[in-house]
Structure 1
Amino acid sequence: MRDALARAGVGAVLGRVGQGRIDVIEGARERSYGPSDAELRATVTINDPAAWRDPLHGSVGLGEGYVDGRWETDDLVALIQIAARELREMDGIRGAVARPRAIWHRLRGLVPENTRPGARRNISAHYDLGNDLFASFLDERMMYSCAYFPDAAASLELAQLAKLDRICDRLRLGPENHLLEIGTGWGGLAIHAARRSGCRVTTTTISREQFELARQRVRDAGLTDQVTVLLQDYRDLEGRFDRLVSIEMIEAVGWQYFDDYFRRCDELLSDDGLMLLQAITIDDSIYEIEKGAKSFANTHVFPGGCLPSQGLITGCLERVTSMKQVWVDDITAHYPPTLAAWRGRFFDAWERLRERGYDERFRRLWDFYLSSSEAGFRERRIGDVQALFAKPGAR
Structure 2
Amino acid sequence: MHEQKSRAKAASAPPPSTALIEKSGPGNRFFRNLVLRGLAAMRYGMLTFVMPDGEERLFAPEGAAAAPRVVARVVVRHEDFFKRCVLYGHIGFAEAYMDGLWESDDVASVIALFLLNVGDCPMMEGSNNHNKAFNLLGFVNQVQHLLRQNTERNSKKNIADHYDLSNDLFQLFLDETMTYSSAYFAREDMSLKEAQLEKYERLCRKLCLKPSDQVLEIGCGWGGFAIYAATNYGCKVTGVTISQEQLDFARKRVEALGLGGQINLILKDYRQLTGLYDKIVSIEMIEAVGHEYIPLFFDKCDQLLKGDGLLVLQMITCPDSRYDLLRHNTDFIQKHIFPGSLLISMRRISNSLARGSDLFLHECEDMGNYYARTLDIWRHNFEAQLPNVVSLGFDPVFIRKWRYYFGYCAAAFAMRNISVVQVVYTRPNNLNLGADDWLQRFSSPK
Higher relative contact order (CA 8 A, sep 6+): 1
Equivalent positions of 1:56-135 (< 5 A) are 56=86, 57-88=88-119, 91=126, 93=128, 108-111=143-146, 112-135=148-171
Deviations 1:131-179 (A, max 9, x none): 0111111111111111100122211111101100000011111111010
How far apart, in 2, do the equivalents of 1:290 and 1:280 lie? 13
Matched, 1:220 2:271: no
> Structure 2 counterpart of 1:65, which letter?
A
| Bigger Cα displacement from structure 2, 50-59 vs 258-267 | 50-59
Matched, 1:52 2:77: no
Distance 1:320 1:279, change over 3 A: farther
Q: Equivalent residue of 1:81, what SS?
A: helix
Matched, 1:21 2:57: no
In our comparison, the structure showing a higher alpha carbon Rg is 2
| Bigger Cα displacement from structure 2, 30-39 vs 361-370 | 30-39
Matched, 1:273 2:326: no
Counterpart of 2:436? none
Distance 1:390 1:105, change over 3 A: farther
Q: Equivalent residue of 1:358, what SS?
A: coil
> Structure 1 counterpart of 2:36, which letter?
G
Match for residue 162 of structure 1 among 195, 198, 222:
198
Q: Equivalent residue of 1:82, what SS?
A: helix
Gap regions ≥5 residues in structure 1: none
Counterpart of 1:137? 173
Deviations 1:300-358 (A, max 9, x none): 10000000111111211222422111100111111110000000001111111111211
Matched, 1:171 2:171: no
C-alpha displacement of 1:24? 1.3
Gap regions ≥5 residues in structure 2: 1-25, 432-446
| Bigger Cα displacement from structure 2, 83-92 vs 187-196 | 83-92
- 2:43·2:120 contact (CA, 8 Å) conserved in 1? no
- 2:174·2:180 contact (CA, 8 Å) conserved in 1? yes
Q: Equivalent residue of 1:93, what SS?
A: coil
How far apart, in 2, do the equivalents of 1:157 and 1:328 lie? 24
How far apart, in 1, do the equivalents of 2:281 and 2:193 lie? 21
- 2:42·2:120 contact (CA, 8 Å) conserved in 1? no
Matched, 1:352 2:382: no
Distance 1:110 1:189, change over 3 A: closer
How far apart, in 2, do the equivalents of 1:170 and 1:247 lie? 13
| CA RMSD across the alignment | 2.1
Counterpart of 2:29? 4
| Bigger Cα displacement from structure 2, 39-48 vs 188-197 | 39-48
Match for residue 43 of structure 1 among 56, 73, 90:
73
- 2:182·2:370 contact (CA, 8 Å) conserved in 1? yes
C-alpha displacement of 1:94? 7.3
TM-score computed with the length of structure 1 as normaliser: 0.95
State percent identity of aligned pairs: 37
TM-score computed with the length of structure 2 as normaliser: 0.84
C-alpha displacement of 1:102? 13
C-alpha displacement of 1:392? 3.4
Runs of 4+ deviating beyond 6 Å: 94-97, 101-107
C-alpha displacement of 1:2? 2.6
| Bigger Cα displacement from structure 2, 63-72 vs 107-116 | 107-116
Deviations 1:349-372 (A, max 9, x none): 111111121111111000011100
Deviations 1:167-195 (A, max 9, x none): 00111111110100000110000000000
Matched, 1:32 2:58: yes
Q: Tell me the matched-pair count.
A: 393
How far apart, in 1, do the equivalents of 2:208 and 2:382 lie? 35
C-alpha displacement of 1:293? 1.7
Distance 1:96 1:73, change over 3 A: closer
